[in-house]
Chains A and B, each alone.
Chain A
Amino acid sequence: MTDSEQPETETAVSQPQWPENGGQWSDEEGGAGMDECGLAEMAEEDEEIDIYNNETFGMEVGDTEGDPTNPLFKFGEKPPAPPALPSLSPSSPSFSPRARPQLRVQGPPGRRGRGQRGGQAMAQMFEDPAVVRTVEGRPSLQVITTLARSVVSKACREMLFSSYVGVSCNGDVLFTQVGGLPSPRPCPSTPQPLTPKMMQLRFGANSPRPSPFYSPSSNRVQRFRFPGPVTQLHPQHRRLLSQRQQRSQRKPDSWDPYCNLMSAKEKEWIIRLQMIQLQSENPHLDDYYYQEYYRRMEAKLAEEELGMRGKREPPKLTTPYVTKMDSYTPVVHIEGSLGQVAVSTCFSPRRAINAVAAHCPHELFMVLLEVEEGQRMKAQVLGEGEEKGLMEKTEIKVEYIYSQLQHPDLEAEEEFLPCLLVSKGKQLLARLLPFLSHDAALKVLSMVTSHLPVLMSRDADESLPVLYPSLRIVIGGMTFSQLIGVLKDFTTSLPDSSDGSVCLSLVCQSKFGLSLLYALLSQGERLLSSDVPLEPSIGDFETWTDTVFLVASQLSQSALVEPLLLPSNLLTLFCRYLDKRTIHQLKSNME
């Protein structure tokens, strides 16, 4: 790195050291665009260049003396400054000071008029950012070697990665390319020695891009493509960008030989990446400021132009980013589920098991809570008027829940079935039962008993017992006839079965079923042994007796699970009807 100091100190006399030579930097700054100069400008420069060239290269090489940067000053423009340029002289020791090659160190290669000569092909060549300098005139061997040597030494010093130097002559133009960086496009008019590195760099992501760059009118640096179909910009945004693009194209820039290391393609790629990261389903939430900014701008413009052209159709505020989401309908929430839906479920939603979708037990629970709250309040001493009002409200709520629980599609008997299949539904019903009218409660009970086998088999998490307490209370209020009716469900056998009720055998295996059965029997016994007139319907007693017998025989035969509650009067009931032996068996089984 000490090498680089040498030229700098040498040139200290003529110009301040880098990086303090701010005056020289300023030319390079500003983005280093090779922009569209105005034609007039270019013509002007052409003339100047011609004059200069005639003066210098028209004569023998080496005629002119002085600081290599002098021609540039003569040229009237500030020297584009990289320290490499002054290094030219010291690195060619073989030359006498007099024979210093008058290399026209050109800023934007080719653009300033020179590129116009020879037509488009030339322009393309010189548009190559890796071109450090161009030399024109009759190439002499000295020039070439000097150039090569300076370039190589500079390359060795400066470039970390492998550089290639190609020197070729094309007509009266000599140029070199320095740098391991690929030229973004092939120069068809120049045969170059292609090193493997170059080859490598010419393909893949660094492969040269076609047409847009071949037109000299393209603004290579400032030019960009809208980041592609993946991202959508706000229409206002798009307009803004195109406006800026046009504006910047008119602005002339000075040249930086090392600029455009990043091709426009690469810049685009990064922008695209960044925009993808900005994509969201809810831009108004996630990207509020962007949205707001453009909304306001749009509103302002619309307001301004409202008077001018009448109401121009305001461009629709499209969601700027999200386009690819249309391919599927996102499942954002599954009814009755807790928490977020997993991504996998979003894309392939499974059929909801236990979907009590239409019923939404949650909401019903809320209402139930209110009802219970009402009950508790009622327990407190209230004024009569208030109590009435409260009662009414409670009733309404209860009705509401009741109606909600009923599934409209099913038959009358099966209304509550979907609810009961879900454990939550069971809990809900259990808590609701106390509030229901006797008839409604009976209905529930009968429904339970008639579908008992189904319920028992589907009771995977053993939540049926939660219904027991409430049902027991209901049973406690049943009349004999009602009881008989319900009991029938237990004893009905399938038409083609011969060994008694399937239900009964299942019941023996289920805690809930057995408990329910016991409760019913107990109720019957209680009713019978009490003094309250039973008002039975015809055939009730017979049914009762039959039922008892059937149940007893079943119970004595099969192994019983332990019930939730063993009513005390059961044995007495059986005693009355059955013989001693059976009773004995029953007793042992039930305990």
Chain B
Amino acid sequence: MNYMPGTASLIDDIDKKHLVLLRDGRTLIGFLRSIDQFANLVFHQTVERIHVGKKFGDIPRGIFIVRGENVVLLGEIDVDKLCDNVLQQVSIEEILEEQRLQQQAKQKTEKAKVTALKDRGLSIPKADNLDEY
């Protein structure tokens, strides 16, 4: 029930299962238990879900407190809807391994790119360094 129809409020989302995407790329799923005016979130029975390709794995994390500014998006999970058959759940070890491999591959291509650019006298600043300037 929205206290202020025509507005967006997280009050109605309390005690419901949500999926939240954080700015660092993590995906958390849990029950939204508490909020505040900055949209800081308290998640209960949180699970961090890692997706690699068509596989995914869940890491139970317990209670999470997320600072509001780090939320990219947040959405309620419809528990009545059937889970997607396309995605395959695997164990945590496996998914972490997959993730590691993915990171490795990514770094390799990135490195190759940077070297190629360097050879041509160019450089692309990384996004995380931009704040320094």
Contact = CB atoms under 8 A, between A and B. Distances in A.
Interface residues of B, number: 34
Interface string B1-33: 101111101010011110000000000010101
Contacts of B99: none
Which of A29, A158, A224, A258 has the most chain B CB atoms closer than 10 A to its own CB? A29
Contacts of A278: 7
Interface string B72-98: 000000011111000001000000000
B3 A19 contact: no
Contact of B17 (A29, A82, A259): A29
B9 to A, nearest CB: 7
A215 to B, nearest CB: 20
A72 B33 CA distance: 26
B3 A241 contact: yes
Nearest to B83: A20
Nearest to B92: A5
A274 B62 contact: no
A19 B58 contact: yes
A29 B36 contact: no
A19 to B, nearest CB: 6
B63 interface: yes
A258 B3 contact: no
A270 B1 contact: no
Interface string A217-248: 00000101001000000000100110011001
Contacts of A266: 34
Contact of B5 (A20, A159, A237, A258): A237
Given A258-B44, A274-B37, A248 B1 contact: yes
B79 A261 contact: no
B4 A275 contact: yes
A266 B79 CA distance: 27
Contacts of A267: 3, 11, 14
Contacts of B79: 22, 25-26, 29
A281 to B, nearest CB: 19
Given A20-B83, A22-B83, A244-B1, A270 B16 contact: no
Interface string A484-496: 0000000000000
Interface in B50-65: 58, 60-63
Given A270-B35, A271-B3, A1 B60 contact: yes
Interface of A: 1, 4-5, 18-20, 22, 25-26, 28-29, 31-32, 82-83, 157-160, 222, 224, 227, 237, 240-241, 244-245, 248, 256, 258-262, 266-267, 270-271, 273-275, 278, 289-290, 293
